[in-house]
Structure 1
């Protein structure tokens, strides 16, 4: 393997959850500016989109490393083909989605419904491991529907780990596959952090990260006393400046914390490059509306961007004007 394709070392302490329509390459670039250590995940990409789609579903910015591709699928051959493509493109990890509860995903026989088919998940993991040297990991739930015993979870982990998966990210809620929307599945089933802690105690040889309901770095620190990593979703998106102290507070790095304004200044060249290539301003700024959350004038910042960044021809001046609007009383 040439040095150009050597995967980046992965620190699993803190990661950002794959979120559809949210964790695209623009958001990931923005997040990486605030932390060199966090692990980034793509939105879930289906094997069908990669194999049959017309667009390039594997595009990313080199600055995003370490970066994991999350795949949706249940055909071992297709997953292996996509994992191989991901490794060739330089991704640092391939993750299999066994947690998404949406009807569309179930109809494609992947996501959380796969928890009921641990033998198939094991085959998928084994097929991917055969063709790549990068880690193959699984993101799952603690259970589905009435199948939510600890024994159900451990049977799944036993079979999938035997196939070569040594890293699990566990969303500490079960998924209701019938009757709840994906949004409700992120909020209604009760969180059971203790079950994830118990899993780590019973499987000390595995890397276990937790996901679900985590809002502060202090909470991350509490989870990290018992687990290998914490994955944060909505809070990392809606309050992105949370990421600016991950390296210092959770990873022990001694380096200055970037100010919000410094983060914004560092985004300007990236935004300008996107605009020059024909991209639209709001493709990027939609991910940045939460940068000043909690600060005086943050509402003015959000409003100015949401009202102006989508307009035809909107340029970098809109970003500067949005920042200036915060100072107006």
Structure 2
């Protein structure tokens, strides 16, 4: 019988924003947190080599306001993962997540990510090494299989091995990954979803916190999944459409959002922008995460165009964002704008 870990509870994973390379950086997370207090945020994947040998503050630094925040590690050497986990623990993360799902060539060449689906015993060694190294919850994000693997056999073997080694929770992207023949982008959409298999996994491990990932792009679909699993992890939909995050606390947790509107949250973000610019951060490095703020609402296109045009120019500052907001305020009510693709 699997016992619920005292380190992580099912409700901790109830709504998560997926780790996404070049997207879920500290600036996005600061903005996301102004839209939801309860959503669990994840860093971009960070490799063990980068943490051990690189600029740790740049890679791992974050603000207390970003919590609850998890770090995702990429690697397959148990000793290196243990060392990286100890370093991450010094940065006070709420969770360490092992990437066993990314299908990119870069990750495959490093012998980690989705290719680890073929090596459940190695994954178990990695989990065990991190569990011995830190007191933080250690979780695994995986696929349901790769290439010609039989999904049920591959997924259940990986989860059994991971749990035996001490994994505190699993996040399952309910698609296979095809390591040859499909790009990372195609691997997000083309392999068919198999939600029932993940639901079956939850029945097999009733007390293990399990979150489902893949194809969940509305809060209605999130609630449907929560009838079967403990949590949902949303990626592009949460990134491109901040109005979804604005509704997470009220609709998923029954609590008020941090601000009454996305516009109010954006105004609160201006002080963050000013502070970071005083530290040398470029405005465009922050505003690139704001392009989906008003997706589907009047003035959204003008808002995006203004930021894309002016935030990159010398002298651009928080006033550039205020000017973009005024374009939303002035937009005729009848004007509609297409949502960004999710």
Which of the five TM-score ranges fits, normalised by the shorter chain?
over 0.9
Please name the residue that 2:274 is paired with. 272
Partners of 1:166 and 1:93 in 2: how far apart? 9
Contact 2:217–2:237 at 8 Å: present in 1 too? yes
With 291-300 and 147-156 compared, the bigger mean Cα shift is at 147-156
Please name the residue that 1:72 is paired with. 74
Contact 1:148–1:174 at 8 Å: present in 2 too? no
User: Could you tell me how far 1:316 is from its partner in structure 2?
Assistant: 1.1
Instruction: Report the aligned-residue RMSD.
Output: 1.6
Contact 2:36–2:258 at 8 Å: present in 1 too? no
Aligned partner of 2:184 among 175, 178, 182: 182
Please name the residue that 1:27 is paired with. 28
Partners of 1:129 and 1:55 in 2: how far apart? 21
Please name the residue that 1:198 is paired with. 200
Partners of 2:8 and 2:149 in 1: how far apart? 37
Partners of 2:130 and 2:331 in 1: how far apart? 55
Please tell me whether residue 15 in structure 1 is matched to residue 16 in structure 2: yes
Higher RCO (CA-CA < 8 Å; seq separation 6+): 2
Written as runs of structure 1 = structure 2, the 5 A alignment for 1:1-329 is 11-54=12-55, 56=57, 57-254=59-256, 258-326=260-328, 327=330
Give unpaired runs (5+ residues) of structure 1.
1-6
Partners of 1:55 and 1:66 in 2: how far apart? 20
Partners of 2:264 and 2:26 in 1: how far apart? 20
User: Could you tell me how far 1:156 is from its partner in structure 2?
Assistant: 1.2
Q: What do residues 263-284 of structure 1 show as CA deviations (whole Å, max 9, x unaligned)?
A: 1111010001011111111111
Query: TM-score, structure 2 length as denominator?
Result: 0.91
Residues 1:256 and 1:183: Cα distance change in structure 2 (over 3 Å): closer
Give unpaired runs (5+ residues) of structure 2.
1-6, 333-342
Contact 1:69–1:94 at 8 Å: present in 2 too? yes
Contact 2:36–2:245 at 8 Å: present in 1 too? yes
Please name the residue that 2:338 is paired with. none
Q: What do residues 24-55 of structure 1 show as CA deviations (whole Å, max 9, x unaligned)?
A: 00000111111111111000000011111245
User: Could you tell me how far 1:307 is from its partner in structure 2?
Assistant: 0.9
Partners of 2:268 and 2:301 in 1: how far apart? 22
User: Could you tell me how far 1:293 is from its partner in structure 2?
Assistant: 0.7
User: Could you tell me how far 1:315 is from its partner in structure 2?
Assistant: 0.9
How many corresponding residue pairs?
Answer: 323
Partners of 2:56 and 2:83 in 1: how far apart? 17
2:170 is paired with a residue whose SS is strand
Moved over 3 A (4+): 7-10, 254-257
Q: What do residues 262-309 of structure 1 show as CA deviations (whole Å, max 9, x unaligned)?
A: 011110100010111111111111001111111101000001101111
User: Could you tell me how far 1:258 is from its partner in structure 2?
Assistant: 2.1
Partners of 1:265 and 1:68 in 2: how far apart? 26
Contact 1:8–1:65 at 8 Å: present in 2 too? no
